[in-house]
Structure 1
Amino acid sequence: MARNTGSVSHAGPNDGPAQWLKVDDVARRLNCSRTFVLTEIRAGRLLAFRVGRHFRFDPSEVEAYCASLRQTR
């Protein structure tokens, strides 16, 4: 069961989509650096799941984040 700790959740093995995104994948989609992605996670603007030491992203959450950026322009 995933438990929410701010913008980082700890995911179970069967939680979420079939294809999780990695930090590098999200950085490529957003055309930004890994550091920016990590900053957005820590700021609570981008939802990430913690799997061990690594962050994973639900593709729909990344799309929602992109949509929120488009709306603020």
Structure 2
Amino acid sequence: QVFDGHGGRDAAVFTQKNILKFIVEDTEFTNCLDKAIRNAFVKADQALASTCALDTSSGTTALTAFISG
């Protein structure tokens, strides 16, 4: 995973620390990995929006590969 922060590093650091957990904990993880990954990024976005301690002007782009097996 590669995360590139813009407008600060808070969003990139938060997402890097949490995205794998969000993917694995998603109910779709064992059935539909694509959906679990999408859901995890939505969850990360929602968590970032509700976390007042982070710099609200920061964002992130991500390059993610999931290798299974």
**TM-score with structure 2 setting the length:** 0.30
